[in-house]
Amino acid sequence: MKLKFRQYGMRFYPRGSNFAPPNPPPPPRLVVFPVNRDSDSDASKSCNDQAWIAEGLPINAFGKALRRRFGGRVQRVSIDAGFTCPNVDGAVTRGGCNFCDNRSFSPSRRVRLKQVHDQLTGGIITVRKRYNKVAGFIAYFQPATNTYAPVEQLREVYELALSLNDSPDFHDEVVGLAIGTRPDCLPESVLSLIEELAQRTYVSLEYGMQTIHDAGLVWMNRAHTHADMVNAIDRSRGRGFEMCGHVILGIPGETHEMMMQTAAEIGRLGFDAIKLHNLYAVHGTPLGDQVLAGEVRMMEREIYLQTVVDFLERIPPDVVVERISGDAPSDFLIEPKWCLEKSSLRSDVEAELARRGTRQGSHFVPPAQPPADRPVPEDKTPDSIRAKIETRGRLPVLKMES
């Protein structure tokens, strides 16, 4: 199986024609919302701190946060565990997100668990060749919805990744898990499983939030609402795992003000980490067809850069920034071509923060109700999704090696 180590979560963003940076408010006090972890153990310390400010950095960057936590470079290895999505298989709708190549998430795909093992070991070997010193690896369950299967099947897959630590060739090299999912695929049974795993290892749960505006979610064919996101994170908080929000900037119809409202929600809900993605269109997707037909245009680089800086200024300083842009392989990418130059974009974002004399969190306004004080709501996972997760047996998308 050919291994892929780029970030392939197909997230897309059209031109923000109504972009108009607002006058920034005065810098408020800095507020920390700590993750509920055992502070007596170095291995369990949260990445969420403000050491980056003392170091004079402009952003609470993921790589630096992991170094502080684990004592060295930590690399993620992407794993395709063969899952699908409820907006692909018909549980909530069909067609999938308009930015994804759903052929790769089709239920007709078969991924054996041995292949999951091989993806992880192969990824570790590849990274070892690239970097001389790596403190550990995070098994990143990335494509599709990685909590959308019978819960005992999920346990089996997650435990398979962690069991690599028992191998003499990879002893204690897997320092944690990252699990990408949708907010409507987190019933209590799944959250309890992830909480259990987080007592033993670092776990980051990545929620496909995308935007707080339901019109944008409809445009993407997500088939969930922002209320689903609020319900999921309010039930996740304080369980010992880190909560990462994935956000799309520049959805058609969203103004600059609307995107900044999404930024404010990051602090209101108490996310521990965030991923920001630019819109890119790839071949074989509904969005790609729209771009080729001239119906949707990508955000220009300068507008995206300014929007990202505005966004970073408005999120809490303790939120770890896992990425500020996304890309795709050049042979699949339609537009924008500038997203292939990630390092220069990162440098320009930091330069713009320096020019403004600001940093991440400079214009963060703490919510009236601290996230830790928010009540835990009733589990509102849709019945059609719950039926797929809280069932005995196995889904056909994963089969054991015979």
Give the pLDDT confidence score for residue 394 in this predicted structure.
66
Any idea what the CATH number is for the domain that residue 318 is in? 3.20.20.70
Nearest to 18 by CA among 251, 337, 261, 288: 251
- The answer to the question of residue 18 being in a domain is no
Residue 103 has pLDDT above 60, yes or no: no
Give the pLDDT confidence score for residue 289 in this predicted structure.
93
Q: What is the DSSP letter of 153?
A: H
Residue 108 has pLDDT above 50, yes or no: no
Q: Residue range 311-319: average pLDDT?
A: 98
- The answer to the question of residue 1 being in a domain is no
Q: Identify the band that residue 102 occupies on the pLDDT scale cut at 50, 70 and 90.
A: low
**How many percent of the chain have pLDDT more than 70?**
82
Indicate the number of domains in the chain. 1
pLDDT digit string, tens, across residues 238-287:
999 999 999 999 888 899 999 999 999 999 999 999 999 988 888 989 99
Residue 347 has pLDDT above 80, yes or no: yes
- The answer to the question of residue 26 being in a domain is no
- The answer to the question of residue 127 being in a domain is yes
- The answer to the question of residue 390 being in a domain is yes
Q: Which two three-digit tokens encode residue 385?
A: 């999704």
Give the pLDDT confidence score for residue 393 in this predicted structure.
67
Backbone angles phi, psi at 18, to 5 degrees: -95, 20
Residue 136 has pLDDT above 50, yes or no: yes
What is the maximum span of the chain, computed from C-alpha positions, in angstroms?
Answer: 63
pTM: 0.85
- The answer to the question of residue 11 being in a domain is no
- The answer to the question of residue 4 being in a domain is no
Q: Residue range 151-165: average pLDDT?
A: 95
Distance CA 388, CA 171 (A): 35
Could you tell me the residue range of the domain that residue 292 belongs to?
42-399
- The answer to the question of residue 5 being in a domain is no
Q: Identify the band that residue 141 occupies on the pLDDT scale cut at 50, 70 and 90.
A: very high
Average pLDDT, whole number, for the chain?
85
Give the pLDDT confidence score for residue 9 in this predicted structure.
31
Give the pLDDT confidence score for residue 114 in this predicted structure.
65
Give the pLDDT confidence score for residue 32 in this predicted structure.
33
Instruction: Between 377 and 49, name the one with better pLDDT.
Output: 377
Nearest to 165 by CA among 195, 202, 115, 110: 202
Give the pLDDT confidence score for residue 191 in this predicted structure.
99
Q: Identify the band that residue 27 occupies on the pLDDT scale cut at 50, 70 and 90.
A: very low
